[in-house]
Amino acid sequence: MKYGASILALTLASTFAFAQGENKTLTAIPESVTVTDYYKQNVYDPADNKIGSIEDVLVDPAGKITAFIVGVGGFLGVGEKDVATPFTAIKGQQKDGKWYLTMSANKDELKSAPGFKYDRTQTRWVPETTK
């Protein structure tokens, strides 16, 4: 999708510029979307059923967005499971004047995926352990 590609291109371009130490700021912003177009937004399956929401956006050391943490199931956060999805699995588009996120999975597929939890001591997402 062109928005995903734009984010990636902006991330790579800005990372390269900062790595080179030449430009510390941009004089213009290339076509792009913001992280808020993803973060805390609902995700829908191809049949328009809500399957979860983006709980976190993961960025690698080079500044590239690599994955999303999607919260699935539960009610008001209780009983919710957090799963990791690749950045490329979520597609964004404008629908009725709003940003709309979809992926080609359904809620049951996400519920059966490995879970992750946020470890505050490591400040990173780690695999959920079952007891």
Domain map (residue ranges) of the chain: 35-117
CATH code for the domain defined by 35-117: 2.30.30.240
CA distance 34 to 18: 19
Report pLDDT digits (tens) over 17-48.
Answer: 444 456 688 888 888 878 888 899 999 999 99
pLDDT of residue 12: 47
pLDDT of residue 94: 84
pTM of the model: 0.75
Q: Give 80's contacts (C-beta < 8 A, 6+ positions apart).
A: 71, 72, 73, 74
pLDDT of residue 108: 93
pLDDT of residue 131: 53
Task: Tell me which residue of 33, 29, 49 sits closest to 92, measured CA to CA.
Answer: 33
Q: pLDDT tier at 125 (50, 70, 90 boundaries)? A: very high
